[in-house]
Structure 1
Amino acid sequence: MRDAFGLETPAADLWQEYVDRVAAAVTCRPEVLEGLARLRAAAWTIGVITNGAGDIQRAKLAATGLADLVDGVAVSGDLEIRKPDLRLFELAATRCGVSLADGGWMVGDNPAGDIGGGRQAGLRTIWLRGRPWPDGLPAAHHVVEDVTDALAILLTKE
């Protein structure tokens, strides 16, 4: 590819520019970062399970400040599997230094991927309402309108 000056631009450079721009376009509200910091202070282990390209997802976590608040990350693009695949949940638990057998929580906005996958992994679930709920999918343990509501629920749990 050629840039605006007619010079060859390697595809890797273009991809990195794209990753950087995507990361720069995302933010995380301060109250969410504060809530996660409170969970960490209360000895919670925090993991991220996300579908997408690994370099983009990690760049977004770093850009928002979330990377400093989590113990482990599992990105579907690194493994060519996607939520609700149980292996992604197992990988996240391993990277957090815990086992799914220990229990835990999954918070997410995707009914099938997050809530269905979390339930399949033996986790309690909190659904961030937004997308339509599919017929036949068991209900989430809690339903909230905002992630801060999910954080408040978790802060009352052991």
Structure 2
Amino acid sequence: MFMYGHKFIHPGQLEKTASSFRASGDSVALALGCFDLFHVGCIRFLQDAAAHGRLIAGVYEDADVTDIRGPGRPILPLEQRLVMCAAFECVSAVTPVTVQGLAQTIKAAAPDFLIVGSDQEDLCRQMGVDAETSKSCRVVAMGGRWETCSEWVVQKVQGLV
């Protein structure tokens, strides 16, 4: 996949990748998100998440983005969203994730830090992620301080703002 192919991790290789980061003496941070319509909030989210360790960006599959964000989303397909995340220097690896498979993804990556946007906290709670992961890693909710979000960008483009 383009020039960032070395950053693409098949979900089945997540455990091996995270282990190699740890073997280098690094902490592992797993950041979850839709990453549809990149904007300054996405960039800051990834940069802030990377401050916690080698960053693996878990990008939700298209069907999950539709469930999370609503009809007409995602605007960009999974492959493009993976490439955009991989293009950032602060991102060490990218992998597709599903809402139903969150627990397995977290178990495989065994992150030291699970980074979620403030808009994803409820979703994580519904999936039992917070209770399950609090035993093995620190859950960090980020967001709310950035001046833009995907919903605002969509509304602006549609002339609703």
TM-score range normalised by the length of the shorter chain: 0.3 to 0.5
Greater fraction strand: 2
Greater relative CO, 1 or 2 (CA 8 Å, sep 6+): 2
TM-score, length of structure 2 as denominator length:
0.40
TM-score, length of structure 1 as denominator length:
0.40
Larger Rg: 1
